[in-house]
A = this chain, B = another copy of it.
């Protein structure tokens, strides 16, 4: 394994903005240069360790608190944590940063327009929300606050997955000072 400063790469953005796809791509590239990582994906976390939580602000906050603590634990054991969560409010991302520790926390805003996300609608959430079958969908019927000072913004409306992943990988290895 390549020796590097462990870190938490936190991808935030609207549902269907591309967080998980880009996060997974980053993981594969890190693996390719021998850096150990764990992907903490919002959907997977919510079906497991956070299956007792809903989508109220308090529950979202608790969801993020738990994921941030898992990320911190992974970092303490030399692994990079890649966290892909909507994490809609600045206060929630600030909480995650404070738990992980600012110098280990790399915040990535996956910035795709609501129009783009609604077109993609990978999980059919926007369609459900439009039909009144889903409340509190971030960006549609619940607030999303753009990050005020992210480490990186990926404008993910029209660029391809490969380009987005390469951009993130290049910035992350530079930030982590990994030789590759």
Contact = CB atoms under 8 A, between A and B. Distances in A.
Contact of A48 (B1, B49, B69): B69
A19 interface: no
Interface size class on chain A is 20 to 34
A45 B72 CA distance: 11
Contacts of A38: 38, 73-74, 77, 79
Quickly give the copy total for this chain. 2
Nearest to A77: B38
A145 B11 CA distance: 43
Interface in A68-100: 69-70, 72-74, 77, 79, 99
Contacts of A62: 52
A89 B39 CA distance: 31
16 contacts: A1-B1, A1-B36, A38-B38, A38-B77, A44-B73, A45-B73, A48-B69, A48-B70, A49-B65, A49-B69, A49-B70, A49-B73, A51-B69, A52-B62, A66-B66, A70-B70
